[in-house]
Amino acid sequence: MPMDRRRYPKAWESIALQIKTAANWTCEACNRPCRRPGELDAELVERIETDHSAWAKDLYEWQETEEFGAIEIPKLTRFTLTTAHPNHDPENPDAELKAWCSPCHCRYDLKAMGTKKRLKLERSGQLTIDLIGITDPIPAGQGKDPTRIQLPLREELGGL
């Protein structure tokens, strides 16, 4: 889900740069070295292969083609450092912020995608059904009455 810049402070670019610089352009989750400001593709590849060889395997993926056989596909966006809100609260001026590479940031956000989608709908006026107080859902096929309409599992409701 792309970021909604209206929810971020006006000085977000400056704040994000401070977080990334403080982390020395390294992911705080997995220690992946990331692209520095103004660093060209060739410079990034050389730095990773020379100074961080353990990460060199992530620079490319191999793909089979009929015409050329196996070719290397650059995957340099894996080395993009982002600034993350682990609490998903960009409006909070005192928010906890982390410098994470794009794979770590995406993995983390994927877990919260359903909740974020629901909150976005609520901000745009969608009403939410309050399920607090309703009995626990019964997994499909395990209820006593097979004709009963079963509630969605709690995980699908963002952990309610």
What does the pLDDT look like over 60-76, one tens digit per residue?
A: 999 999 999 999 999 99
Quick one: 101 and 140 in the same domain?
no
Quick one: 44 and 85 in the same domain?
yes
More confident residue, 149 or 109: 109
pLDDT digits (tens, 9 = 90+) for 81-93: 999 998 878 888 7
Quick one: 134 and 116 in the same domain?
no
In the numeric block, which tokens belong to residue 61?
A: 């993926």
Quick one: 11 and 56 in the same domain?
yes
Beta bridge partners of 101: 81
C-alpha span between 81 and 61 (Å, rounded):
20
Quick one: 97 and 136 in the same domain?
no
Quick one: 108 and 136 in the same domain?
no
C-alpha span between 19 and 17 (Å, rounded):
5
Quick one: 141 and 73 in the same domain?
no
Quick one: 94 and 156 in the same domain?
no
C-alpha span between 45 and 57 (Å, rounded):
11
For residue 154, what are the domain limits?
129-160
Quick one: 43 and 116 in the same domain?
yes
How many contiguous H segments (helices) and E segments (strands) does the chain have?
4, 4
Quick one: 76 and 154 in the same domain?
no
Domain count, the chain: 2
**Per-residue model confidence (pLDDT) at position 78:** 95
**Per-residue model confidence (pLDDT) at position 96:** 92
Quick one: 138 and 115 in the same domain?
no
Whole-model pTM: value is 0.68
